[in-house]
Amino acid sequence: MIAERKIIIIEKESDKMNINNIAIVRATNIIPFDGIIRAISNTGYLCKSLGGEFSSTISSLLEELKILPEQDYTKIYIDEDYYDNYIKICSSITKEYLPYTSDYNSIVLFSLNGICPDDNEHGFANNTFSNKNCAIIEPLKYHINDVISLVPTDTSVKGDVYLSSEAIILIEDTVFQNLTSEEKNKLQNFNVKIFKGNLKDAIKETLKETGKYTAEDLSLSQSTGGIKDSPTSDELKECINIVIKEYNLSNLKYYNLITARNDLDIPKYDMVKDEYHNAVVVYEYYIEKFLQELLDYFSAPDNLKIRLHSSLYNKRYMKEIKELIRKIGINNYKSFLDNYNKKLEEERINKSLPTPEEIMLENKKSKAR
């Protein structure tokens, strides 16, 4: 546990902030019992993606079947939260009808001196961080050589992150109480702080208590530079820019970084140039696997099975898939889906689920044959 401090003084080695005053922060539900934050590419990772042609197809079908709520356009101009809440509800329902996929990411993402805002604060309804039950606060200085891009809400660190002895692990009280004795013993080597209530507040309080870091409210708005105005925000932004120049880092957000094509202007581009391609390959592996099992289970026509591999992004083909699901019945589809997802969850628990890196290696082998 960390003792509470009554007086907060930011310790600086000079008159200005420096790298010692920057913390990398990650909100998560995965407690790093062994002191390692693993990149997705090295874990058995499952997620549900709202992107892609199949997701759009399912969303369209749910709308036609009146499973998704109709949008009340009269409320958009009356209730400023209506549209964001509507998107959030539709996204949540749609995910219930989607199979697990995965992602390829050899980069671990962090925010700086604060928690990354939820996407729905800005109308995207994709990533949510405020509801996580764990957070890690770690000095940036120990990982600066592995940093590719330094951004307040989207700092990219290449590979697995091994925590230092200065790391702080925040764990929600109920979650901590439900840990086994063995799990609690593993955490004895770390600075652990138990919190109740809001994770954002717990992170801000803990950052202040260290006496080294400022606690900032971060923003996804480009106009803010990633940090909302505060007595220390300008100095922190200046410090970040100095570190970027000193260590020859990028200031691109993760998606822009991995989708960039100009390797001459982006520092350390070789470390990320295959990320997007690999993510697509892993996504396609899971979507094709699911659709193949779906078509086989419901004895779909052979012409649908034959065209599957080359039609994952074909709108006309996905319309045929939609009509097949409509024909077999949405409840029958949902029953098959739930069993399929449960099987993948069991593989993940049993550690028999292939990691994204293993999927990529197998993909390269198959192409070389």
**For the chain, which residues make up each domain, given as ranges?**
19-44+103-271, 53-98+275-368
Q: What is the CA radius of gyration of the chain?
A: 23
Per-residue model confidence as pLDDT tens digits over 267-291: 999 899 999 999 999 999 999 999 9
Does residue 6 have a pLDDT over 60? no
Per-residue model confidence as pLDDT tens digits over 316-337: 999 999 999 999 999 999 999 9
What is the spatial distance between Cα 358 and Cα 265, in angstroms, rounded to a whole number?
31
* Cα 212 → chain centroid: 27
At residue 295, the pLDDT reads 98
Q: Rounded to the nearest 5 degrees, what angle is found at the Cα of 244, between the Cα atoms of 239 and 246?
A: 90
pTM above the 0.85 mark? no
What confidence category does residue 126 fall into, taking pLDDT thresholds of 50, 70 and 90?
low
What is the spatial distance between Cα 360 and Cα 365, in angstroms, rounded to a whole number?
9
**Looking at per-residue confidence, does 117 or 11 come out higher?**
117
At residue 13, the pLDDT reads 57
Of 283, 280, 279, 308, nearest in space to 293 by CA: 308
Find the range with the poorest average confidence among 154-163, 235-244, 260-269: 260-269
Average pLDDT over residues 223-248: 95
Does residue 180 have a pLDDT over 60? yes
The structure tokens listed for 302 are 């052979």
The structure tokens listed for 87 are 């998107």
Are the CB atoms for 193 and 206 separated by under 8 Å?
yes
Average pLDDT over residues 125-130: 70
At residue 209, the pLDDT reads 95
At residue 76, the pLDDT reads 81
What is the spatial distance between Cα 284 and Cα 99, in angstroms, rounded to a whole number?
12
Count the neighbouring beta carbons within 10 Å of the beta carbon of residue 29. 10
For helices 82-95 and 53-64, give the axis angle rounded to 10 degrees: 110
What is the spatial distance between Cα 128 and Cα 121, in angstroms, rounded to a whole number?
9
* Cα 145 → chain centroid: 22
At residue 119, the pLDDT reads 67
Question: Which residue type does 172 have?
Answer: E
Mean pLDDT taken over the chain: 91
